[in-house]
Amino acid sequence: MVWDRVIRPMLATTGQVPSGSGWAFEFKWDGVRAVTYRRSGSVQLLSRNDNDVTLSYPELLGIDDLLGEHDAVLDGEVVALDRAGRPNFGQLQHRMHERSPSEELRRDVPVTYYVFDVLVLNGKSVLDEPFEHRRELLEELDLDDITRRVRVPPCYPDVDGQQMLDVARSHGLEGVLAKRLDSRYTPGRRSTSWIKTALVDTQEVVICGWKRGQGRRAGTIGSLLLGAYDSGGALRYIGHVGTGFTDSMLDDLFDRLGSLARNDNPFDTGAVPREYARDAQWVEPVLVGEVEYRTLTSDNRLRHASWRGLRADKSAGDVEAP
């Protein structure tokens, strides 16, 4: 470990765009969170669940040169951009599970690291400094890379958050993130000092079982049975998903789930509808994924869900029920 301690990312609360003064707004980037540790010429990237992903994104090691004389711990998001310059989570899926990506893959799916916070600078923790000051320190580091592999995205203090959301919508972005200018950084905690407003509803899910497909999908996965943990720590059934998969996603999931098979239903609560429980292939609840959904039912189950991909950067125990 490059540093003596791990700083887990601060998390935002989902909510409506806040109004009034004292807020700064950023666009929400559709990627995977990564905290970068740089000391004495050594660089390490850790995911949200503390996995070392340094070798997965070797093009981001250029941040070592950008920091020059500075040692630092930085917070940001790894994204893959489409041809229009918009984050594309589907493209990023091709990189997320590759420990040592080939030159061809790095060329076909390049990634960019959007740095939006500084947590430690030259041996001094700035976690208790207000966000406004941390942002000033970040901009003084001048990290924008000429190759566009590392960027500091814009931040807009005291603007109309609803207008920011409209801009995000018109550019096909995921949404906006509002941060209190006076907020301190609270590692590993979800805080109302940061509020995320998404234009597309997404939900992290734990894969708890699957149903065999029919027709074109005969012999592989037809749908996944999904769970999440409620406030009491119980694993609850929250719905199923049968769309949004590519053939390569189905092949990968089929291989992964085969080794996780179990005989009994892993859910603690929330009865699985009979048509989904019948002939279900139950699995150990360890794989985390993400879905888009249109709305929630009256019993808080996902309606019209579509698969987005696996989330290797998330731990099953951290997946909260909607």
Pair (130, 46) in one structural domain: yes
Residues 24, 181 contacting (CB under 8 angstroms): yes
Last residue of a domain, one of 158, 179, 198: 198
Last residue of a domain, one of 182, 198, 214: 198
Each residue's pLDDT, cut to its tens digit, for the chain (322 residues) gives: 666 789 999 999 989 999 989 999 999 998 999 999 999 889 999 998 889 999 999 999 999 999 999 999 999 999 998 888 888 888 898 898 888 999 999 999 999 999 999 999 999 999 999 999 999 999 999 998 777 899 999 999 989 999 999 999 998 888 999 999 999 999 999 999 999 998 888 999 999 999 998 888 888 899 999 999 999 999 999 999 999 999 889 999 999 999 999 999 999 987 898 888 999 999 999 999 999 998 888 888 998 899 999 998 889 999 999 8
Look up 211 and say whether it is catalytic: no
Give the count of domains, the chain: 2
In a domain, 18, yes or no: yes
Helix (H) or strand (E) holding 91: helix 89-96
Nearest CA to 313 among 47, 63, 54? Answer: 47
Pair (124, 167) in one structural domain: yes
Residue 2, pLDDT score: 60
Q: What is the DSSP letter of 233?
A: S
CA 27 to chain centre: 14
Pair (142, 231) in one structural domain: no
* Helices and strands, number each (H, E), in the chain: 7, 19
Last residue of a domain, one of 158, 182, 198: 198
Residue 5, pLDDT score: 83
Domain that residue 98 falls in:
11-198
Pair (147, 245) in one structural domain: no
Residue 3, pLDDT score: 63
Pair (71, 189) in one structural domain: yes
In a domain, 4, yes or no: no
Catalytic residue among 28, 179, 196, 211: 28
Pair (186, 211) in one structural domain: no
Residue 227, pLDDT score: 96
Beta bridge partners of 52: 46
The contacts of residue 103 (CB under 8 Å, 6+ apart) are none
